[in-house]
Chain A
Amino acid sequence: MKKNKTLIFLFTAPTVICLLLMYVYPVLRTMVMSFFRVEDLTAGLDKWSFNGMDNYIKIFHNAGFITSLKNFLAIWIVGGVITLSLAMLMAVILTSGIRFQGFFRAAIYLPNVVSAVALATMWVQYIFNYDYGLLNQLVTLLGFDKIRWLGTDAKLWAMIAAYIYGSIGYYMLIYISGIEGIPAELYESATIDGASKSRQFFRITLPLLKGIIKTTITFWTINAATFYLWSKLFSPVQTEGATIVPVVYLYDTVFGGKGVVNRDAGAGAAVGVVLTLIIIAVYLVTERLLRSSDLEY
């Protein structure tokens, strides 16, 4: 087909402008800004002063940021292991020839479709509520004392549990599409050879899903590093040590919040860069550790 230069230009120009304006320029500016002292986000370049690694040194000496990193690690590692394992378990169950699997898939994916703010509000105002919440009703039924699920000690874990419940479905769908891509003959011949179901899972399913597991680890890392909404909903009015995450710290530092005396856009940019580096590092490490197998099927 003949190349039509005008058409090509006119049809791609809006997308190119979008890429430059929304992604390329902002990412570069954020990276540069992380090496400058910038108090007010809207200040012109002439008000920026270079200060090397000072923003990075500052945030790593800030108690709030360190707490937020610890919470991030809890969400990323504990939340990640549980979410991905449960998602895999559900995927295996729903591909094992169970009845109503279409309904179950739809039901388990549902939390990913509805407003997360509405979902989080349901957990905070109902499940974890001290007076009339579901969990405390169960606890009382079993004859124990009510528990402060949203007290300082338990809050982070309550938040992670609610987040896991809502996240499983997405990773489950990814695993299901992976499992359905594995030829049925592999399982049939394994069954004939007398391999048990669990043996089949560890010897066939898991190794063949290596590439997909790698992808889900990267997705989970991105979601954990940019975790914000649930933290905001579990501590809506004021930022709290129990639920602070790096993006909440970033928001408070840049746009102001409780306990922030001087706004510091440069430090905020440094937080963004650190989080992006974490994501890239995890991606590279999993890429090396879980090198796609040479297995063919």
Chain B
Amino acid sequence: MEKTKRRFNWKRELRMLPGYVVVLLYVAVMVIMLSWIVGASLSSTKEILTGKVLNFESGFHWENYITAWTTQNVSVFFGNSLLYSVVSCAGVLLIAAPSAYVLSRWHFTGSRLIRVALVIAMSVPAIMIIMPLYTLAVRWGIRGRILLIALYIFMRVPYTAIYMLDFFASLSHDYEEAAAIDGCSAGKAFWIIMLPLVQPAIITVTIFNFLSVWNEFFMALIFTSSKEMTPVGVGLLQIVNSMKYSGNYGGLFAAVIIVFLPTFLLYLVMSRRIISGVTAGGVKG
């Protein structure tokens, strides 16, 4: 993305007016939607239902956030999602990084097969795997948080390994040779020298893994059996479903904002990195 620095030219800008209108229209919908939701999260249910959201006649109802966080269990969902995301991001690196390194360095029996399998695994739809996984989990007696964490780690291994493979391949062999001369074993050289060298790749891949696990919904819906282990996505669905009993619209919108914020804030800080990461690793024609 280059910055286009140029003098303001009326004729030129006018020719692009239709373009501005299209993208501004898109952004306007988002701004209206988000400001209304924020407004609603600070309004009383009565104000919401009578369509007086952005007037704040009865002041700001910060208690909506307290209700959402405590009575509606958002604190539990939030803690779970944080746990799942952080632990899976670390776990997936421990599994995928070493294999990406080895695959980028040597050809060995089955190395091509593993590469191909990783690429195919990235596009296997969840519906083709969840049923046997469910059976296995029940059979082996694995449940609760540990089950979801394991599934999330395995879910992200193919993407992470493929993404890191290219980065390891671009590193010079000199590093390991120097390490070997100094008497450093190949395994040790990986953890101490090679892994820190691909730090930019680790950061990008971890952001995407975090986003993916934080926003995951389908497996969470199938594999969570109690409120205590529910992550934010499924938790929010439960809050929506209980609306007809609680009738607390202010609390609902506060919950929406709480679920929305973490990845939104991450995006505010990291948008440049995220946007260039979407098409990096090659969407090839």
Taking a contact as CB atoms under 8 Å apart, the answer to whether B267 and A113 are in contact is yes
Taking a contact as CB atoms under 8 Å apart, the answer to whether B127 and A250 are in contact is yes
Q: How far is the CA of A104 from the CA of B13 in the complex (A)?
A: 16
Taking a contact as CB atoms under 8 Å apart, the answer to whether B96 and A110 are in contact is no
User: Which residues of chain A from 64 to 114 have a CB within 8 Å of any chain B CB?
Assistant: 89-90, 93-94, 96-99, 101-102, 104-111, 113-114
**A contact residues around B3 at 8 Å (CB):** 102
Interface size class of A (residues with CB under 8 A): 35 or more
**A contact residues around B10 at 8 Å (CB):** none
Looking at B130, B257, B285, which has the most chain A CB atoms within 10 Å of its CB?
B285
Taking a contact as CB atoms under 8 Å apart, the answer to whether B51 and A8 are in contact is no
Contact partner of B102 (CB less than 8 A), chosen from A8, A25, A26, A177, is A8
Taking a contact as CB atoms under 8 Å apart, the answer to whether A90 and B49 are in contact is no
**A contact residues around B260 at 8 Å (CB):** 114-115, 118-119
Query: What DSSP secondary structure best describes chain A's contact surface?
Result: helix
Taking a contact as CB atoms under 8 Å apart, the answer to whether A26 and B95 are in contact is no
Taking a contact as CB atoms under 8 Å apart, the answer to whether B125 and A22 are in contact is no
**A contact residues around B253 at 8 Å (CB):** 125
Taking a contact as CB atoms under 8 Å apart, the answer to whether B102 and A12 are in contact is yes
User: Is A228 among interface residues, defined by CB-CB distance under 8 A?
Assistant: yes
- Interface residue ranges, A against B (CB under 8 Å): 1, 3-5, 7-8, 10-12, 14-16, 18-19, 21-27, 29-30, 33, 41-42, 89-90, 93-94, 96-99, 101-102, 104-111, 113-119, 121-127, 131-132, 134, 137, 165, 168, 170, 173-174, 176-178, 209-212, 214-215, 222, 225-226, 228-229, 232-233, 236-237, 247, 250-251, 254-255, 265, 268-269, 271-273, 275-276, 279, 292
- Interface residue ranges, B against A (CB under 8 Å): 1, 3-4, 13, 16, 19-20, 22-23, 26-27, 29-30, 32-34, 36-37, 40, 48-51, 53, 94-96, 98-99, 101-103, 105-106, 108, 114, 117-118, 120-121, 123-136, 138-139, 151, 153-155, 157-158, 161, 173, 176-177, 186-187, 190, 211, 214-215, 217-218, 221-222, 232-234, 236-237, 240-241, 249, 252-253, 256-257, 259-260, 263-264, 266-267, 271-272, 274-275, 278-279, 283-285
